[in-house]
């Protein structure tokens, strides 16, 4: 009798019953990449449910847009993904250009020189964005040094952006019909040569650094343990949740809008699209946090490759703005998507033929990717939540718009 009781009490100790506890993570937690609040329902340290609450940075950019002319909306798109503002500007400008192209009388061609400058700046911006993602991800998981390395090198890119547009954050360079003319950089001038030389110098410096980052973090065993095999997102799940860009390629789907639905002049360059693969000797599984992270690291190298090709060709001569009158798209509507560093950035614009749009909707890649968090985190540990948020690389300015 006594022995039975003892066994019973032992079993109770082995399976301690804990009440469900609700913990609010955020909105001010430093590793939530902005102001994201997660309502965690915990069983001990196991997450039963992580419910994201967003909207802390909501400014209703879409309502603002309805009262502004098309060129005036461009600065508002900067504030969506402030880490990759050039790509956001470009996405919006491409959409307006596409809608204007639907009317023959209003159609215009973006000059060659502007197209090259756009690709050049946006690929550099992609590197800057991935650098930030790499640095903060390391810091989220307890490695402080990568953060300092990433910001040291990102600084050189920010100086370049400052040269073309005067700003270090919310850079605003791309216009509807071309790029900003405010920089006195005549074709073939010494200024242009200096600018291109500076970029080349940066690339020569930066390319070996990628190996250094990989040595520092990618193959670090503490980092691998925290990320490999954690929160595996299957290809079907990624597609269903609308996860795009590095998150989709991290799930093994070979898809990149720059290659598969080429816009601008991306079809002229030679580059690869990094896609995650199973690496059994390391323990990486397609779709885990590590794979999503690794795709970004590999993408930086491809961006360097594209920029190098532009430098080798040199910028073409000619104007940087199209010969166009007022921006007044025809009556109609369009949806156009481009490949921003965080995935597929779409804009849906409805025009009634006046200088102001009737409706602008920004389809944010982070918004869709973040909605997968609830399903991804079910049954994992609290510490894994941090690993997931960093690996899907969200910027709350874009989620909340």
Partner 1 sequence: MTPEEIYKNLSDKFGDSILGLDTELAGDASINISPSAIAEVCQYLSENDAFAFDSLMCLSGLDVGVKEEEFSVVYHLYAMQHRHSVVLKTSIPKTDPHLPTVAHIWKTADWHERETYDLYGIVFEGHTDLRRILLPDDWEGYPLRKDYKEPDFYRGMRVPY
Q: Which of 6, 7, 24, 55 binds partner 1 (CB under 8 A)?
A: 55
**Alpha helix stretches (DSSP H) within 68-215:** 70-78, 85-101, 112-140, 145-165, 190-213
Least gap, CB of 26 to partner 1 (angstroms): 16
Q: Does 62 bind partner 1 (CB under 8 A)?
A: yes
| Residue 344 lies near partner 1 (rule: CB under 8 A) | yes
Residues 401/62, Cβ–Cβ less than 8 Å = yes
Residue 184's SS3 state is coil
Considering only 33, 154, 342, 363, the residue that binds partner 1 (CB under 8 A) is 363
Comparing C-alpha atoms, which of 19, 21, 22, 47 is closest to residue 389?
47
| Least Å from the CB of residue 145 to partner 1 | 36
* Cα–Cα distance, 32 to 373 (Å, whole number): 12
Please choose, from the candidates 266, 273, 354, 246, the residue with its C-alpha nearest in 3D space to the C-alpha of residue 90: 266
- Residue 316 beta carbon to partner 1: minimum distance, rounded to whole angstroms: 30
Return the closest-CA partner of residue 132 out of 398, 394, 401. Answer: 394
Nearer to partner 1 among residue 116 and residue 336 (C-beta): 336
Measured from the CB atom, the residue of 102 and 380 that comes closer to partner 1 is 102
Q: Which of 244, 253, 287, 288 is nearest to 273 (CA)?
A: 253
The verdict on 332 binding partner 1 (CB under 8 A) reads yes
Note whether 41 binds partner 1 by CB under 8 A: no
Contact 172, 74 (CB under 8 A): yes
Site for partner 1 in 382-401 (CB under 8 A): 400-401
357 binds partner 1 (CB under 8 A): no
Residue 327, SS3 per DSSP? coil
The answer to the question of residue 263 lying near partner 1 (CB under 8 A) is no
Q: Which stretch binds partner 1 (CB under 8 A): 109-117, 150-158, 240-248, 389-397?
A: 240-248
Stretch binding partner 1 (CB under 8 A), from 34-42, 109-117, 274-282, 350-358 = 350-358
Compute CA distances 164 → 77, 157, 316, whole Å.
18, 11, 17
Gap between the terminal Cα atoms of the chain: 66
CA distance 182 to 171: 13
CB of 104 to partner 1, least distance (A): 10
- What is the rounded CA–CA span in Å between residue 369 and residue 243? 5
How many chain residues are in contact with partner 1, going by CB under 8 A? 43
Residue 333 Cβ vs partner 1, minimum distance, rounded to whole Å? 5
Could you tell me the two tokens for 222?
A: 């503490």
Interaction of residue 355 with partner 1, rule CB under 8 A: no
| 49 lies in the site for partner 1, by CB under 8 A | no
Closest CA to 81 of 299, 311, 401: 401
Q: Which stretch binds partner 1 (CB under 8 A): 30-38, 150-158, 194-202, 324-332?
A: 324-332
Selected binder of partner 1 within 228, 239, 279, 322 (CB under 8 A) = 239
Q: Token pair for residue 242?
A: 């609308």
List residues bridging with 357 in a β-sheet. Answer: 351
Q: Is 268 exposed, middle or buried (0-12, 13-18, 19+ CB in 10 A)?
A: middle
Asked if 240 touches partner 1 (CB under 8 A), the answer is yes
Give the start-end residues of each E strand in 319-356. Answer: 332-340, 343-351
Angle CA 374–378–384, to nearest 5 = 90
| Nearer of residues 290 and 336 to partner 1, judged by Cβ | 336
Give the SS3 label for residue 37: strand
Q: Which stretch binds partner 1 (CB under 8 A): 5-13, 28-36, 222-230, 252-260?
A: 252-260
Q: Which of 361, 380, 381, 383 binds partner 1 (CB under 8 A)?
A: 361
What DSSP character marks residue 315? Answer: P
- 333 binds partner 1, rule: CB under 8 A: yes
* Piece of the chain touching partner 1 by CB under 8 A; list 79-87, 223-231, 236-244, 292-300: 236-244
Letters for 77-116 (x = contact with partner 1 by CB under 8 A, - = none) are: ---------------------xx--xx-------------
Chain residues in the site for partner 1 (CB under 8 A) = 54-55, 58, 60, 62-63, 98-99, 102-103, 237, 239-242, 253, 255, 260, 329-335, 337, 344, 346, 348, 350-352, 358-359, 361, 363, 367-368, 371-372, 375, 400-401
């Amino acid at each position: 009798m006594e022995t039975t009781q003892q066994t019973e009490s032992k079993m109770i100790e082995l399976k301690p019953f804990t009440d469900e506890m609700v913990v609010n993570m955020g909105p001010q937690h430093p590793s939530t990449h902005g102001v994201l609040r997660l309502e965690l329902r915990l069983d001990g340290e196991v997450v039963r449910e992580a419910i994201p609450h967003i909207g802390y940075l909501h400014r209703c950019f879409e309502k603002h847009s309805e009262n502004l002319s098309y060129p005036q909306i461009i600065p508002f798109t900067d504030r969506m993904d402030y880490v990759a503002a050039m790509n956001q500007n470009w996405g919006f400008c491409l959409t307006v250009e596409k809608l204007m192209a639907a009317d023959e009388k209003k159609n215009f061609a973006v000059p060659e020189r502007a197209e090259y400058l756009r690709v050049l700046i946006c690929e550099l911006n992609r590197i800057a964005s991935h650098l930030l993602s790499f640095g903060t991800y390391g810091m989220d998981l307890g490695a402080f040094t990568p953060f300092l390395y990433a910001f040291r090198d990102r600084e050189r890119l920010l100086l370049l952006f400052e040269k073309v547009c005067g700003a270090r954050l919310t850079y605003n360079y791309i216009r509807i019909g071309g790029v900003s003319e405010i920089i006195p950089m005549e074709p073939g001038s010494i200024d242009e040569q200096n600018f291109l030389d500076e970029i080349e110098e940066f690339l020569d410096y930066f390319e070996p650094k990628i190996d250094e980052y990989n040595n520092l973090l990618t193959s670090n065993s503490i980092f691998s343990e925290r990320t490999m095999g954690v929160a595996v997102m299957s290809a079907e799940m990624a597609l269903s949740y609308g996860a795009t860009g590095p998150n989709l390629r991290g799930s093994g789907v070979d898809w990149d809008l720059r290659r598969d639905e080429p816009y601008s002049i991306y079809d002229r360059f030679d580059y690869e699209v990094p896609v995650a693969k199973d690496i059994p000797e390391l323990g990486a599984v397609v779709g885990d946090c590590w794979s999503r992270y690794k795709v970004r690291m590999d993408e930086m190298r491809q961006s360097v490759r594209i920029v190098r090709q532009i430098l080798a060709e040199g910028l073409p001569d000619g104007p940087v703005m199209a010969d166009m009158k007022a921006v007044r798209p025809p009556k109609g509507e369009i949806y156009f998507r481009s490949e921003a560093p965080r995935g597929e950035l779409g804009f849906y614009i409805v025009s009634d033929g006046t200088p102001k749009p009737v409706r602008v909707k920004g389809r944010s890649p982070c918004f869709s990717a973040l909605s997968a968090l609830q399903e991804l985190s079910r049954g994992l540990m609290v510490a894994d939540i941090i690993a997931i948020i960093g690996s899907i690389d969200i910027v709350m300015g874009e989620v909340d718009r």
